[in-house]
Structure 1
Amino acid sequence: MQVHRETLEEEATHVTDEARMVLPGVQAVLGFQLIAVFNQRFQEFTAGEQLIHLVAFLLMALAMGLVMTPAAYHRQVERGSVSRRFVDLSSTLLTLAMLPLIAGVCLDTYLIARLILKEQGPALLVAVGTALLLTGLWYGLPAFCRRLRS
């Protein structure tokens, strides 16, 4: 298999492009979470389920913060240059951002499924299935492919 080794500049471009791809999705979910609180159906949730929504919102805000941190870091610490430290930090933060993103999406999935299915058990199964799917795609698949390359 032929492999092209990226320059540091190419790596930096790719990691920032990847963050730009993730950020709009995170922001869209955050927007819907904000709107949901003002929807009449939100009152159908128990106090505990409303708290779950708050936790999901906070997790999404954390994911957004992790995705946006490389830009803030670069502007304040390494403006005008690209370093291995920036690329590694950015890659780590983007990879870590997927964890609260998965958790937030799955909590919201539970709440949506609970509203639609009217029962906690099936809603929990839908949320756990979503967690397994996203974790498999975002962490399992890359780990599997990394092993194949070795």
Structure 2
Amino acid sequence: MTAHEKRLSRNWHELLQELRVTQTGTQILTGFLLTLPFTARFAELNERQQYTYLITFVGSVVTTGLIVAPVAFHRLLFRKRQRPWLVSAADTTAKIGLFLLALTTAGVILLVFDVVLSWQAGLIASTVAFIGLMALWAGTPLIAERNGYAVPQEGPAQGAEPEADRGSVRETAP
């Protein structure tokens, strides 16, 4: 196995470990949202709250689909020497899935605050939650990288490409 193949294998396994955590969370969130229409209080929601619920529920289902997609990709392409594409596609679906998870979480907060307090309180709380999640999930690593904290101290980072081999995974032939 070449160094490039080893790196792709490492990247693939790291992505799968990360997705395992996210898959559980999105599946639990979707399951929770699925049960809401069957509660007694759901009938009391006004039309705006019902639309908020439906949009949030669809967002949760799409998020789950994106987070689980790499498993389906792998199953369909198993042993077809498509690891470069798998790593790239899994990375893309994971990033989009995390963004949608933040939006879906904000939608849940919007709905809960709207039901308990008011629409305005829901907008404020959901906006703060979305910005907070984006700052934590995306902003923190970018700031760490910019400030030199995410730079490897000795040798290349695990999964890092050697200088001569830097470039997009998509540019690599299987």
Residues 9 and 82 of structure 1 are in contact (CA less than 8 Å); yes or no, is this contact kept in structure 2? no
Q: How far apart in 2 are the matches of 1:70 and 1:29?
A: 19
Residues 109 and 126 of structure 1 are in contact (CA less than 8 Å); yes or no, is this contact kept in structure 2? yes
Cα shift at 1:136: 0.8
Partner of 1:125: 124
Matches within 5 A, 1:35-114: 35-79=35-79, 81=81, 83-114=83-114
Unaligned runs of 5+ in 2: 1-5, 152-174
Q: How far apart in 1 are the matches of 2:81 and 2:146?
A: 33
Q: How far apart in 1 are the matches of 2:41 and 2:130?
A: 24
Residues 63 and 101 of structure 1 are in contact (CA less than 8 Å); yes or no, is this contact kept in structure 2? yes
Q: Give the TM-score of the pair, scaled to structure 1.
A: 0.88
SS in 1 for 2:10: helix
Q: How far apart in 2 are the matches of 1:59 and 1:35?
A: 15
Count of matched residue positions in the alignment of Structure 1 and Structure 2: 144
Q: Report sequence identity in percent.
A: 24
Q: How far apart in 1 are the matches of 2:81 and 2:71?
A: 13
Q: Give the TM-score of the pair, scaled to structure 2.
A: 0.76
Mean Cα displacement is larger for which, 126-135 or 136-145? 136-145
- Give the aligned CA root-mean-square deviation in angstroms: 1.7
Q: How far apart in 1 are the matches of 2:92 and 2:144?
A: 18
Letter in 1 for 2:137: W
Q: How far apart in 2 are the matches of 1:23 and 1:111?
A: 23
Mean Cα displacement is larger for which, 41-50 or 58-67? 41-50
Residues 63 and 98 of structure 1 are in contact (CA less than 8 Å); yes or no, is this contact kept in structure 2? yes
2:155 counterpart of 1:137 = no
Cα shift at 1:7: 2.2
Alpha-carbon displacement from aligned partner over 1:20-58 (angstroms, at most 9, x marks no partner): 110010010101101111111112211121011111011
